[in-house]
Structure 1
Amino acid sequence: MNALRGLITTSPEILRSQLRGLSRAKPVATCAAFRPDPTHLADPVQATKLALRSLAARIREARDQADQLERHLHQLVEQVAPNTLHVFALGPDTAAALAISIGDNPDRLTGEAAFARLCGVAPIPASSGKTTRHRAASRR
């Protein structure tokens, strides 16, 4: 998307005016629909149309592949740790990372404190004298 936006920014004005102000998904669809004239690729407009169309196709392919991989990840997490996906606001990426962190020993997570220690965010007492303080655990 960054390459597409950059190319749009530097493209001839006739193309910039067509693509200006479009919502987030529209530039990809618009650029994918370009039909450059292959006999006039020396023309900057036609050459830019070809480049924009090529980038749009790569973006669509990458999005399709990412969606497919996310579906596979969702299926794997459902098999390995089905209850984690039912936790509020926990998607397949986070559930997979959690399952990897826990490893083959899910009994080590007995509650929130154990989870905080596993993540390295459990507070550690750092008091002196009459002052009671805690600091975050450092990750090693």
Structure 2
Amino acid sequence: MEGTSSYGAGITHALQDNGIHAVEVNRPDRSARRRQGKSDPLDAYSAARAVLAGHGLAVPKDAHTGALKALLIARRGAIKARTAAINQIKDLLVTAPAELRERHRRYPTTLRLVEALGRCRPSAHDDPTAVSVLIACKALAQRIEFLERQDRELTAEIDTLTTTLNPALRAAYGVGPDTAAQLLITAGTNAHRLRSEAAFAMLAGAAPIPASSGKTSRHRLSRGGDRAANNALHRIAVVRWSHDPRTRDYVARQLTAGRSKKDILRLLKRAIAREMFKHLTAPCPIDDYSDLRPTRQARNITLATVAEHFGVWPNDISRLERGLRRDDNLAAAYRTWLNTHYIDAA
């Protein structure tokens, strides 16, 4: 089948439901298509030749991938429409009457501006131009608030689905609902689609490509593959570069060794691709933190006491207890300390 995740999805699922083995083939080579032309019979012959040669075959993605893709498309559409509405508001205020422009210039953030425009009363003005501009801005502000609610709801649905499908991937440092969903969509929730870790790196555009010339010996990232998956790896790398102590230490060592930040980012993305491949192909159980808060409350221990003992902020302990932050080392030490504190207190 060609296009098992698009126009061929229906017949692919029907074949699989009836126990018929189906494989996905790549579209015909563009140069061959230009030479031979295009028609359904020609495409069918090309697909048959590809199957007989065993070239460019893949296992179709399962239905869970389609569910994630639908939610992710809706969320990204809401974010794109929200950004467009914000830009439209700012454009309208640039050419608005001076009174409106000066009044709304004092808001320090876009969020405050949107809230103020959503509560404004256009009928309180006498100038017809000001009334029209405020009506338009109020409609856009209400649209933004609606899209923000959609974003939160869709993100919660994506988070629930990704956590159910692959809790280890979702719990990895720097992997949020959006990035986890994109990696699952790219790889497919059926892990046997990926032949090797190197193949996944090439698929995600994180494979090192030689770019040497003369006495210069270097590599660059692949510009092929799924660019959305590459963007997910990039965001994970940026988050770890900013907040993960181990990654920051690694970056410091590489900078001392004379590597550029671009080369370090390439190495990080390749290492993250290796880690993500393990999570995608061999999902493992993760530590459950749900026992920490009831145990602490049963011991009558405050968050401030725990935070002071471990040298972190109380909010970090609260997020750890609610499963919003993953730190297995801190959780294990916290659990041991709670039991020891109870024994000492007794």
From the superposition, tell whether residues 29 and 109 of structure 1 become closer, same or farther in structure 2 (CA, over 3 Å).
Answer: farther
Q: State yes or no: 1:53 paired with 2:138.
A: yes
Give the aligned partner of residue 103 of structure 2. 18
Instruction: Judge which range, 25-34 or 99-108, deviates more.
Output: 99-108
User: Structure 2 counterpart of 1:8, which letter?
Assistant: L
Kindly report structure 1 stretches of 4+ aligned residues shifted beyond 6 Å. 126-131
What CA distance in whole angstroms lies between the structure 2 residues aligned with 1:136 and 1:4? 39
Task: List gaps (5 residues or longer) in structure 1.
Answer: none
Larger Rg: 2
Deviation of 1:80 after TM superposition, in Å, equals 1.0
Give the aligned partner of residue 95 of structure 1. 180
Give the aligned partner of residue 156 of structure 2. 71
User: Structure 1 counterpart of 2:129, which letter?
Assistant: P
From the superposition, tell whether residues 2 and 126 of structure 1 become closer, same or farther in structure 2 (CA, over 3 Å).
Answer: closer
Q: State yes or no: 1:27 paired with 2:121.
A: no
What CA distance in whole angstroms lies between the structure 2 residues aligned with 1:14 and 1:129? 64
From the superposition, tell whether residues 34 and 114 of structure 1 become closer, same or farther in structure 2 (CA, over 3 Å).
Answer: same
Instruction: Judge which range, 130-139 or 115-124, deviates more.
Output: 130-139
Report which of the two has the higher share of helix: 2
Give the aligned partner of residue 10 of structure 2. none
From the superposition, tell whether residues 7 and 135 of structure 1 become closer, same or farther in structure 2 (CA, over 3 Å).
Answer: closer
Deviation of 1:28 after TM superposition, in Å, equals 0.4
Give the aligned partner of residue 52 of structure 2. none
Aligned sequence identity (%): 34
From the superposition, tell whether residues 60 and 10 of structure 1 become closer, same or farther in structure 2 (CA, over 3 Å).
Answer: same
User: Structure 2 counterpart of 1:45, which letter?
Assistant: A
Give the aligned partner of residue 29 of structure 2. none
Q: State yes or no: 1:62 paired with 2:147.
A: yes
Deviation of 1:26 after TM superposition, in Å, equals 1.0
Give the aligned partner of residue 93 of structure 2. 8
TM-score of the two chains, using structure 2 as the length reference: 0.35
TM-score of the two chains, using structure 1 as the length reference: 0.80
